[in-house]
Chains A and B, each alone.
Chain A
Amino acid sequence: MMRSIAVSILIFLLASPALGQQASVIKIGGLAPTTGNVATFGVGQRNSYELAVEEVNKAGGLKVGAARHRVQLIFEDEQNSPEVGATVARKLINQDGVKAILGPTNTKVCLAVGPIAQENKVPMITPTCTNPKVTLVGDFIYRAGFIDTFQGAVGAHFVHKTLGKRRAGVLFDNGNDYTKGLATYFRDAFEKLGGKVVAFESFTDEEKTVDFRAQLIRIKATNPDVLYTSDYYGAAALMAKQAKEIGMNVSLMGGDGFDSPDLMRIGGKDVEGVHFTNFYSQDDPSPEVQRFVKAYRAKYKDTPDAYAAQGYGGAQILFDAIQRAGKMDGPAIRDALAKTKGLRTVVGVITFDQNRNPTKPAVILQIKDGKQHFVTRVAPQDLPANIRP
C-alpha cells in the first residue's frame, strides 16, 4: 500500500512543469512528419526549415522594429496524423509560445492544425498542403504551394493532350482529404476535356494498406488506358507493382505525393515511365533555386526534393513578413503576410490572392532509369479556359 502510494506521488511530483523564458529570441514552430508513411517528405522539410533558420541567424537574425532577434526553431514530428498534429500544435502554441508555425506538410494534418492556429491567432504557413479548404479555415492560414484544383487540372490536361489517353481509371484513399480532393479535381477536369473516367475506386487506408489488387481488378475490368492515383509514393509503388501483376499494362500518372526516392526504391522497374505533377524541379536554372540546391547539398549531402524546397520557400515568406510587420505579434505578422507582393523565393515569385493562395506554375516529371526527369512546366494560363481554377 505505502509502496504504491509513494510511487504514484513521485509520478505526480515529477510531472510538475519546469519553465524557462529567453529574451530576444523569436520562437518559430516547425511541423512535418519525420516518421510514418510519408517520412521522406518530413525529413526534407525539417532540414530546409533548419537551413533557413541557420542562414538567417548567421546573417544576424531578423530585424523586427529597431532590434535584431535570433530565430529559434522548435520542431515537432506530426507523423502525418491529424491527432498527433493537433496535440503537438497545442504544445507549440501553449507550452513553447511560438509566434508562427511553418507546416504541417499534408492536407489532413493542416485541416486539424489550422483551426488551432486560427483560434490562438498564430500565423501558419503550410509549404505543401494543397487542398483548397486548408486556407479557408481562417485569415491566419497561408500556403506556399499551389492548390489541388490546379494540380488536378494540370494532370488531366497532360494525360488528355500530351499522352493522348481517353479512358482513365482512378484509385485513391478515401480517408485523406488530399487524395480524395485531388482525385475528384482530376476527374472533373478530365471529363470537361472530353475524356471518360471509367472507374473511380477508393480504399480506406487501414494502417498502411498493402493490398490494392481487389480494387485494381475491378478497374482493369473497365478497360482503362491510364491509371491516375493521388496517393503517396509508398502506396503508388505498390499499385504500380500489383497492376503489372494482374496484367494491367497502362500508363500511370500521379500528383506531388509521388516525389520521393522511395518511389523508385520500392517500385523498381514497375514505376519506370510514371509521370507526376510537382511543385518544382531541381533542374530549374533560376538562380534562387540553384543557390538553394547548392546550400542544401552542402549541409545535408542530399538533393532537396520539392517538399524541401517548399519548406525553405515557406520560411522565406514568413521571415520577410515578420520583418515587415515590425512587431512580434500574430495579427501584425498576418497583416504583413497579406501584403506580400512580388517576393522572389525559391518556390517562385509570391503574391497572395484573397484566399491566401500564391499563384505559381506546376512542373511535370517522369521516372526514367530510376531517376526523375523534367518534362514540362505548366502555368495557370497554359490551361484551356474551362478547366482553369
Chain B
Amino acid sequence: MRRGGTALIGAGALYGVILFSHGDLGVDVHWITDYYLQVLMLAGINIIVTIGLNLINGFTGQFSIGQAGFMAIGAYLTAMLAKLVIPLETLPLAYQLSAFLALLLIAGSAAGAVGYLIGLPSLRLKGDYLAIVTLAFGEVVRSVIRSSDETAATLRSWGLSGLAGPIEGIGGPRGFGGFPKFDSLAVGGWTIPILFTLVFVLTAVTVVVARNIVYSSYGRACLSVRGNEIAAEVVGVDSTRVKVLAFALSGFLAGVGGGLFAFVIRFLHPDNFSFLKSIDYLIFLYAGGIASLSGSIISAGSLTVLPEFLRVVGFEQWRLVVYPLLLIGLMLWWPSGLMGNREFPFLAAPEKGLPEVTDVTDHKSQHVL
C-alpha cells in the first residue's frame, strides 16, 4: 500500500508540474504550449489503448491486430452523440462533464460489447488466423463508417429519416468535425484545463485498475491460458470465458481511448482508424514488452512524444525515418521489449508469497522464427 501511496503522490506531482509549465497556476510561464499539451493528451490516450491491447495480446497470449476498429467505434459514437444527439455545448459545465463521462462509458461499453462478439467466434482460430480476422474486422468498421452516405440514403428510403440524419452527419469518407470544445475552468487565479485533467485521471485510473486485474485470480487465469491453454483447462480454467472477457476489456479500453481521441483531435476521419493505427499500438506494446504494464506506459508515452519531439528539433523531414530505425535498434537490443516482463515497483506483485508475474511461455522452444 505504501508503494501505492508513493505512486499517487508521484502522479499528483507530475500533474502539478505539467499544469505549472503550461502557465495554468498563475505564474506566467509557457514551457508547455497548447501544442505540447495535445501531444501529452495523445500519449495518455495511447497508454490507455496499449494497456487494453496488453490484456489480450500480452497477458492472455492472443494475437489481435484490430485495435483501431474498437477505437473508431468509441470515437464516432462519442462524437455523434455529443454533437448530433445531445448538444453538449448547451449544457452547464457540471452537466457537461458528467454527460461526457457518461458518453465515454457508453462508447467503451459499445466497443467492449463488440469485442465480446468478435471474441466469441474467433475462439476457433489460433495465432495468425485470429490476427487476420481481427484486422479484417477493423477494416470493415472503417468501411462501414466510410459508407455512411449510402447507409443514410438507404435508411431514408425505408422512411427512417430520424435515424438517417445523425448517420449522414458523420460525413462518411470526408470526415467529421466541429464538435464541442472543453474550455478551461477558472479557479481563483488558476485555470484548470478540463480535457487534459480528464485524460490524465482516466489514464491513472486505467493503470491502477489494469494492475488490479492482472494480479486478480482472473489475471492469473489469463497467464495460464497464455502459457498452455490445454494445461489451463486441465486445472479448471474456463479458457473460453477468459479469452472472451479479455477481448471485451480490451475493446472497452480502446473505446474509451477513442472517445477521448475524438475530443482531443476534434476532427475524425475514418482513415485515422485504418490498420496502420492498429499497427502503431502493436509497436507500442511490443516495444515496451508484453505482459508488462510499465512497458506499455513507457513505450506508448515516449513513442508518441518522440516523433513530435523530432519535428520540433528540426528533424521535420527525417523524423519518420529516424523513428523506425530507433524501433528496429530497440528490438535488436532488447528483443523482449524495453521492460521485458518487469514492472515498476508500484506496479509489482502486491506481496511476497503470491507468484510474481513471470514470462511463462518458453518462447525458445515454441514458435521460433
Q: Do chains A and B touch in the complex (CB under 8 A)?
A: yes
**A8 to B175, alpha carbons, bound, how many Å?**
35
B36 is an interface residue with CB less than 8 A from chain A: yes
Q: Which of B285-312 contact A (CB under 8 A)?
A: 298, 301-302, 305-306, 309, 311-312
**A111 to B178, alpha carbons, bound, how many Å?**
10
Minimum CB–CB distance from B21 to chain A (whole Å) comes to: 9
**A15 to B36, alpha carbons, bound, how many Å?**
10
One of B30, B31, B175 near A16 (C-beta < 8 A): B31
Q: Which of B327-365 contact A (CB under 8 A)?
A: 334, 338-339, 342
**A204 to B174, alpha carbons, bound, how many Å?**
10
Q: In the assembled complex, which residues on chain A have CB atoms less than 8 Å from the CB atom of B272?
A: 83
Q: In the assembled complex, which residues on chain B have CB atoms less than 8 Å from the CB atom of A95?
A: 33, 35-36, 312
Identify the stretch in A140-148, A170-178, A184-192, A321-329 within 8 Å (CB) of chain B at 4 or more residues: A170-178
Q: A112-B175, A112-B177, A174-B149 are in contact. Are A82 and B35 (CB under 8 A)?
A: no
Q: What are the interface flags for A1-17 relative to B under an 8 Å C-beta threshold, 1 for contact and 0 otherwise?
A: 10010011001101111
Q: A108-B174, A180-B174 are in contact. Are A17 and B149 (CB under 8 A)?
A: no
B146 is an interface residue with CB less than 8 A from chain A: yes
A286 is an interface residue with CB less than 8 A from chain B: no
Q: Which of B1-52 contact A (CB under 8 A)?
A: 30-36, 38
Looking across the interface, which residue of chain B has its beta carbon closest to that of A16? B31
B226 is an interface residue with CB less than 8 A from chain A: no
A294 is an interface residue with CB less than 8 A from chain B: no
Q: A8-B302, A11-B306 are in contact. Are A86 and B31 (CB under 8 A)?
A: no
Q: Which of B147-176 contact A (CB under 8 A)?
A: 149, 172-175
Taking residues whose C-beta sits less than 8 angstroms from the other chain, chain B's interface range is: 35 or more
Q: In the assembled complex, which residues on chain A have CB atoms less than 8 Å from the CB atom of B302?
A: 8, 11-12
Minimum CB–CB distance from A201 to chain B (whole Å) comes to: 13
One of B177, B305, B311, B339 near A4 (C-beta < 8 A): B339
Would B35 and A115 count as touching, CB distance under 8 A?
Answer: no
Q: What are the interface flags for A155-180 relative to B under an 8 Å C-beta threshold, 1 for contact and 0 otherwise?
A: 00000000000000000001111001
B243 is an interface residue with CB less than 8 A from chain A: no
A24 is an interface residue with CB less than 8 A from chain B: no
B269 is an interface residue with CB less than 8 A from chain A: yes
A94 is an interface residue with CB less than 8 A from chain B: yes
Looking across the interface, which residue of chain B has its beta carbon closest to that of A174? B173
One of A4, A19, A180 near B334 (C-beta < 8 A): A4
**A16 to B266, alpha carbons, bound, how many Å?**
25
Is the contact region of chain A dominated by helix, strand, or loop, or is it mixed?
helix
Q: What are the interface flags for A213-233 relative to B under an 8 Å C-beta threshold, 1 for contact and 0 otherwise?
A: 000000000000000000000
Minimum CB–CB distance from A46 to chain B (whole Å) comes to: 14
Q: In the assembled complex, which residues on chain B have CB atoms less than 8 Å from the CB atom of A119?
A: 181
One of A7, A17, A174 near B312 (C-beta < 8 A): A17
Interface centre among A19, A95, A204 (most CB of B within 10 A): A204
Q: In the assembled complex, which residues on chain B have CB atoms less than 8 Å from the CB atom of A19?
A: 30-31
A90 is an interface residue with CB less than 8 A from chain B: yes
**A4 to B172, alpha carbons, bound, how many Å?**
43
One of B36, B175, B312, B339 near A82 (C-beta < 8 A): B175
Would B267 and A112 count as touching, CB distance under 8 A?
Answer: yes
Would B298 and A82 count as touching, CB distance under 8 A?
Answer: no
Taking residues whose C-beta sits less than 8 angstroms from the other chain, chain A's interface range is: 20 to 34
Q: In the assembled complex, which residues on chain A have CB atoms less than 8 Å from the CB atom of B334?
A: 4
Minimum CB–CB distance from A181 to chain B (whole Å) comes to: 10
One of B30, B35, B174 near A177 (C-beta < 8 A): B174
**A323 to B311, alpha carbons, bound, how many Å?**
33
Q: In the assembled complex, which residues on chain A have CB atoms less than 8 Å from the CB atom of B339?
A: 1, 4
Q: A17-B36, A17-B312 are in contact. Are A82 and B146 (CB under 8 A)?
A: no
Would A176 and B267 count as touching, CB distance under 8 A?
Answer: no
Looking across the interface, which residue of chain A has its beta carbon closest to that of B175? A82
Minimum CB–CB distance from B241 to chain A (whole Å) comes to: 34
A339 is an interface residue with CB less than 8 A from chain B: no
Would A174 and B172 count as touching, CB distance under 8 A?
Answer: yes
Looking across the interface, which residue of chain B has its beta carbon closest to that of A111? B177
Q: A94-B35, A174-B149 are in contact. Are A8 and B269 (CB under 8 A)?
A: no
B265 is an interface residue with CB less than 8 A from chain A: yes
**A86 to B177, alpha carbons, bound, how many Å?**
11
Q: In the assembled complex, which residues on chain B have CB atoms less than 8 Å from the CB atom of A94?
A: 33-35
A91 is an interface residue with CB less than 8 A from chain B: yes
Minimum CB–CB distance from B176 to chain A (whole Å) comes to: 10
Would A90 and B35 count as touching, CB distance under 8 A?
Answer: yes
**A174 to B153, alpha carbons, bound, how many Å?**
14
Looking across the interface, which residue of chain A has its beta carbon closest to that of B302? A11
Interface centre among A4, A111, A115 (most CB of B within 10 A): A4
Q: What are the interface flags for B263-274 relative to A under an 8 Å C-beta threshold, 1 for contact and 0 otherwise?
A: 001110101100
Q: A17-B312, A111-B177, A115-B178 are in contact. Are A82 and B269 (CB under 8 A)?
A: yes
Would B174 and A90 count as touching, CB distance under 8 A?
Answer: no
Q: A4-B334, A4-B339, A119-B181 are in contact. Are A17 and B33 (CB under 8 A)?
A: yes
Minimum CB–CB distance from A13 to chain B (whole Å) comes to: 10
**A204 to B305, alpha carbons, bound, how many Å?**
32
Q: In the assembled complex, which residues on chain A have CB atoms less than 8 Å from the CB atom of B298?
A: 4, 8
Looking across the interface, which residue of chain A has its beta carbon closest to that of B308? A15
Q: Which of B168-206 contact A (CB under 8 A)?
A: 172-175, 177-178, 181
Looking across the interface, which residue of chain B has its beta carbon closest to that of A5? B298
Would B305 and A15 count as touching, CB distance under 8 A?
Answer: yes
Minimum CB–CB distance from A320 to chain B (whole Å) comes to: 30
Looking across the interface, which residue of chain B has its beta carbon closest to that of A176? B174
Minimum CB–CB distance from A124 to chain B (whole Å) comes to: 15
Would A90 and B34 count as touching, CB distance under 8 A?
Answer: yes
Would A108 and B175 count as touching, CB distance under 8 A?
Answer: yes
Looking across the interface, which residue of chain A has its beta carbon closest to that of B149? A174
Q: In the assembled complex, which residues on chain A have CB atoms less than 8 Å from the CB atom of B172?
A: 174-175
Would A204 and B173 count as touching, CB distance under 8 A?
Answer: yes
Q: Which of B56-103 contact A (CB under 8 A)?
A: none
Would A11 and B305 count as touching, CB distance under 8 A?
Answer: yes
Interface centre among B174, B181, B311 (most CB of A within 10 A): B174
Minimum CB–CB distance from A136 to chain B (whole Å) comes to: 12
Given A108-B174, A175-B173, 20 further pairs, Cβ under 8 A: A11-B302, A14-B313, A16-B31, A17-B32, A18-B313, A19-B31, A82-B267, A83-B265, A83-B269, A83-B272, A90-B35, A91-B35, A112-B177, A115-B266, A174-B172, A174-B173, A175-B146, A177-B174, A180-B174, A204-B173
Identify 11 residue pairs between A and B in the complex whose beta-carbon atoms are under 8 Å apart, listed by A's number.
A1-B339, A4-B338, A11-B305, A15-B305, A16-B31, A82-B175, A83-B271, A83-B272, A108-B175, A112-B267, A175-B146
Q: Lowest 8 A-B CB distances belong to which pairs?
A: A175-B173, A94-B34, A94-B35, A15-B309, A11-B302, A4-B338, A95-B35, A204-B173
Q: Which residues of B contact A (CB under 8 A)?
A: 30-36, 38, 146, 149, 172-175, 177-178, 181, 265-267, 269, 271-272, 298, 301-302, 305-306, 309, 311-313, 334, 338-339, 342
